[in-house]
Amino acid sequence: MLKGWTKATIAGALVLMMCTAAFGADIELARSSTLEDILKRGELRVGFEAGYVPFEMTDKNGNFVGFDIDMAKEMAKAMDVKFVPVNTAWDGIIPALLSNKFDIIMSGMTVTQERNLKVLFADPYIIVGQTILLNKKHEGDVKSYKDLNDKKYTVTSKLGTTGEQAVKRNIPKATYKSFETETEAFLEVLNNRADAYVYDLPNCVYLYAQQGEGKVVFLDEPFTYEPLAWAINKGDPDFLNWLNNFLRQVKNDGRYERIYNKWIKGTGWMKEIQE
């Protein structure tokens, strides 16, 4: 009996030690979370690239505005910290996050498997897809992206985006031209130097309303599925948990709907944007 009791005692002690070690590891993981850094610093540093309409832009007074900016401000308010915008070039935005130049990417970033190898994504906050602004001379002849899959067509998009990936993946035979900004890529079509511009639906809606109506053809049926999400550094379950709970809350208390209606459905903001 004594021998069996001793073995049970030893086994129990080992389990207790393992639980204690695991609890200690969890505490250390929580302490190392970016969320704790944000609260101690009193600032939420948000990385984005201004220029992706209508998600992050600069208004006529030089202020950053847009769907993501409003969501970031709500996030900072929920944390009771200051919102600090960090405007960053798109091609360096993930490296900047990895080197802790800011705490989170809120910049209309599409969730891709390649990006997910480098960063941790929260749940998607909006679904978009690639659409087409077509040179008017092709009206009636080109009815979908499939019709553009010919070397005689020149298709444009922005460098390093899922628009570029969609062209290369879905329209591989077309002649592709990349540009540093969405506007430059679109103007190639508007100025008759390219046949089609491929980009996310909200951006094409804006460009069509601002400059393209009556001048280009809008093929507004998305031909890709693209969830947009916020990105943070890997290995941070506490921050991820907070973000997903925040998103769930704003989607059910009216704040998300208000921001969505303003920037995605509405057009009143367009007159305030820097030209």
Helices 237-252 and 34-41, interaxial angle, to 10°? 70
Helices 2-31 and 237-252, interaxial angle, to 10°? 60
| Per-domain boundaries in the chain | 36-126+227-267, 130-224
Please list, in sequence order, all residues whose beta carbon lies within 8 angstroms of the beta carbon of residue 49, skipping any fewer than 6 positions away. Answer: 56, 87, 88, 89, 90, 93, 107
Listed range (12-21, 71-80, 226-235) with the worst mean pLDDT: 12-21
Tell how far CA 252 is from the center of its chain.
Answer: 21
Q: Please, what is the average pLDDT of the chain?
A: 91
- pLDDT of 220-270, one tens digit each? 999 999 999 999 999 999 999 999 999 999 999 999 999 999 998 888 888
- Please tell me if the domain spanning 36-126+227-267 has the same topology as the one spanning 130-224: yes
- pLDDT of 237-250, one tens digit each? 999 999 999 999 99
Q: Which CATH number fits domain 130-224: 3.40.190.10, 3.30.465.10, 3.40.50.2300, 3.30.70.2190?
A: 3.40.190.10
pLDDT-derived band at 22 (thresholds 50, 70, 90) equals very low
Residue 181 has pLDDT above 80, yes or no: yes
Q: Which CATH number fits domain 36-126+227-267: 3.90.226.10, 3.30.1660.40, 3.30.1280.10, 3.40.190.10?
A: 3.40.190.10
